[in-house]
Structure 1
C-alpha cells in the first residue's frame, strides 16, 4: 500500500491513502487516481487541499475531513468529479467549527493521536493505516476503506471509548468483495 503523506490539521496523518493494485475504468491505479484528485484540489483556489483527505478504491473517491464552508465542500466535490477515472464521489466533508479555541485545537490533536494509536493497536481492524482520523471540537471523523462491516463497527467503538471524544462520525467504507 502506497502512502502520500500530507499534513492534515497539523497532525501529520496520512491524507491520501489507497491501494495500488486495483485499477479503475480509465486504467489508473487507486494511488494514481488519488494523486490526480489531490492535485486537482491543490490547483483549485476554492478548495484548501490540506484540509481534505482523499481515499480511493476502484474509481470511487471518498472526500473526508473538515473544511471552512459549504462552498468549499461543494467545490471539492465538483473538482473531484471532473478528474478522469473517477466513477463516483462520496463527499463526506464536514464544516469546521469556526469558534474553536487554541486549547481545543491542541485537545483535538491529542484525541486524534490517541484514537489512531488505539485503532493501530487493536487486532481485527485490518491495516490501521487504512483508517484516517480527523478531530474537530471533540468530534472524531473516521474515514477510509476496510474489508468488513465488523472492522468498520469496531473502529467506531474503539474511537468512542477514548476520553474527550464527544461524537464519532463513521465514514469508513467497506471494500467491495473481489
Structure 2
C-alpha cells in the first residue's frame, strides 16, 4: 500500500505526463489516500482531463477538486454564443438523434437534458460539449429510455466482463433487476472501475448502472 507521500508523487508525475494538462499550475495534496487537486486551468476540458488523470493512478481512493477554470480573454463567450455552439455541435454529432437533447447555459455552465437510447450517446454528447471554447462546467441530466424489449441477462454481462483482459472479473458480482444493473465487489484501481462500468453500460436495454464496487487496499 502506498504512503500518502508516494501517492502525491505518483499523481504529480502522472499529471506531468499528460500533455493536455499544465501540471505546473496544479497542486496535489493527499491525506489517507484521498487526493485533492487545486489550482487554475484554462478550460473545462483541461479540468476534466486533470481529474481523470489523477483517478487512474493506482492507490487513489477518492478525489476532491478545487480546480478553478479561468478562461483566457480570447476564450470568453456569452451564454448565447455558448448555447449556439452547443446546439451546433450536437446537431453534427452523428450518434445523436436529431432534437433529442435540450440545452441550458447559465454563467458559462452548460446543462444537457433529454432522452437517448444508449449510454454511449450520453458520452458522445458530453464529450462534444466539454471541449467547446467558453464552457466553464457541464451537468449531464440526460436520461436513457428503456428499450421496448429489455434483453439484460446476468450471464451475458458476466461473460462480457470476463472477456476484458484488464479486469479481475471474478471479484465483481453482477445483480440485475429489470433494466438496472448493480455491480459490487472489489477493483484494483479506477481504470478497472471505468472498464467494468463501461462494459455494463454496453449491454442492450440497460438504463441504469449502480456502482457499489470498492477499491482494494
Q: Shorter-chain TM-score: what band? A: 0.3 to 0.5
TM normalised by structure 2 equals 0.33
